[in-house]
Structure 1
């Protein structure tokens, strides 16, 4: 595994083994939690990613199970290889980023455990991440779909969350409505989920990165609920929290990201180089 993963293996030193699965925790889980996790790993493998609360209401945990669908991916995850540009596979990025962001005090669900299952040949078959369940929260896409006239409440909450993450040195490059968890009792602060496309370090290209992030939030469905002119006004107000932003560098990324899909790898290029090209 990667160095970050190896550090987590040392930190999460207690292992729960069941059949061909190994799960890592900081301390032994409660008996009812262990039984629920055993039921989870006993489920037949799927070719699709599964994200759902653990089948145990007393545990208050959320699980993600990601199939490793190629031999190259299985070997990279098992032995710490990287893809192009030195990047880890997305499942490892999410694991390491979630742990680091929570350690910094960022508003994300805590990492509780992680692990993997092996196939009959001993190769990693899938990877599992276990976090705390954000009870009393609703994802922003479901929330705004039910409350379309209150879209500005979601936007303002998301922009405040974005600024909070940046203050902790966390750049979330997939922050759209569904990855913003709104509390059922406002005005408590929102929390972020799905940190696979994320950097836990400052960027040298904050103006361009913010341009993408604000534009992307509009492009991913929010445009359905608000005029572009009004959204621009809310962005202008939010930018007051970022002194020193270069508008000449911000605006091209912002305008492009508002109207065009930007792939996951291209988002990382914005963070790393400040470059965002029209497709």
Structure 2
């Protein structure tokens, strides 16, 4: 296992290797899973940068995400565990961030598909050329963007559940910074909770400001998606009961919430607001 990922060894203790393809899993059938992965990935052009699809045949209950790494700088960072520059947001490469964050979010009780295995392909020279993640397949779910497109569905109910899940994540020090509707998976059984996916842009732990994170995530959800389905006044009423009561935190929440509702922001700006707890108006 790559040295900077060794903390995951206790969670994924079963190892398998096929040619230059390495897999680390939870289950005893890692070798069989690796053979299936190798077969499925070989059907795709190596130039296809990202794959996100259900696995084939006996592993249809699992979901595969794969990222092909072409640039030599990115390959070097992935292989050596180097972080990106602060100008580019810091942290590891996105595929690695998603793996680490998804595992930690699940450990903190966040409803998200459980990671079953992960692995990578190496070049002849030993550089990482592809990283893949295998998780539970939410086959009986639909993403929130598609769910909201149906006139028979209640957007206010989705908004209530999504904002409650955001508040749960922030309470567990999980700050998901891509809170648009497609990252919330709605189950066919409406008595089951929403699940959240795609943790590549996420802060976990106490690095961020909770009030800024809460306000920003609510604002992003409304501006990117929900403004097409419910009024601003309705959404404001929905989130105000989740507003912090301490004066300083309340002010931070309201400022970041209003800013995120009204302004298009880059990932870097969103991250800076959550980390600093301040909105810098330009």
Candidates 262, 265, 279, aligned match of 2:265: 262
Q: Contact 2:13/2:24 (CA < 8 Å) preserved in 1? A: yes
Q: Contact 1:41/1:117 (CA < 8 Å) preserved in 2? A: no
Q: Which runs of 5+ in 2 are unaligned?
A: none
Q: Name the counterpart of 2:38.
A: 38
Q: Higher mean Cα deviation, 36-45 or 89-98?
A: 36-45
Candidates 225, 250, 254, aligned match of 2:253: 250
Structure 1 residues 57-136: aligned runs within 5 Å = 58-85=59-86, 86-136=90-140
Q: Name the counterpart of 1:55.
A: 56
Q: Higher mean Cα deviation, 31-40 or 173-182?
A: 31-40
TM-score normalised by L of structure 1: 0.89
Q: Name the counterpart of 2:280.
A: 277
* CA-CA distance at 1:30 after TM superposition: 6.8
Q: Higher mean Cα deviation, 73-82 or 163-172?
A: 163-172
Q: Give the whole-Å Cα distance in 1 for the aligned partners of 2:58 and 2:281.
A: 46
Structure 1 residues 96-245: aligned runs within 5 Å = 96-147=100-151, 150-203=154-207, 205-239=209-243, 242-244=244-246
Q: Which runs of 5+ in 1 are unaligned?
A: none
- Superposition CA RMSD, Å: 2.2
Q: Contact 2:142/2:187 (CA < 8 Å) preserved in 1? A: yes
Q: Contact 1:32/1:56 (CA < 8 Å) preserved in 2? A: no
Q: Give the whole-Å Cα distance in 2 for the aligned partners of 1:127 and 1:162.
A: 28
- What CA deviation, in whole Å up to 9, does each residue of 1:54-78 have, x standing for no partner? 1235441111111223111111111
* CA-CA distance at 1:10 after TM superposition: 4.9
Q: Contact 1:172/1:199 (CA < 8 Å) preserved in 2? A: yes
- What CA deviation, in whole Å up to 9, does each residue of 1:205-261 have, x standing for no partner? 22211111110001112211111121111121343xx44363322222112211222
Q: Give the whole-Å Cα distance in 2 for the aligned partners of 1:38 and 1:158.
A: 36
Q: Contact 1:51/1:65 (CA < 8 Å) preserved in 2? A: yes
Distance change in 2, residues 1:111/1:149 (3 Å): closer
* CA-CA distance at 1:34 after TM superposition: 4.2
Distance change in 2, residues 1:148/1:264 (3 Å): farther
TM-score normalised by L of structure 2: 0.89
State the number of aligned residues. 276
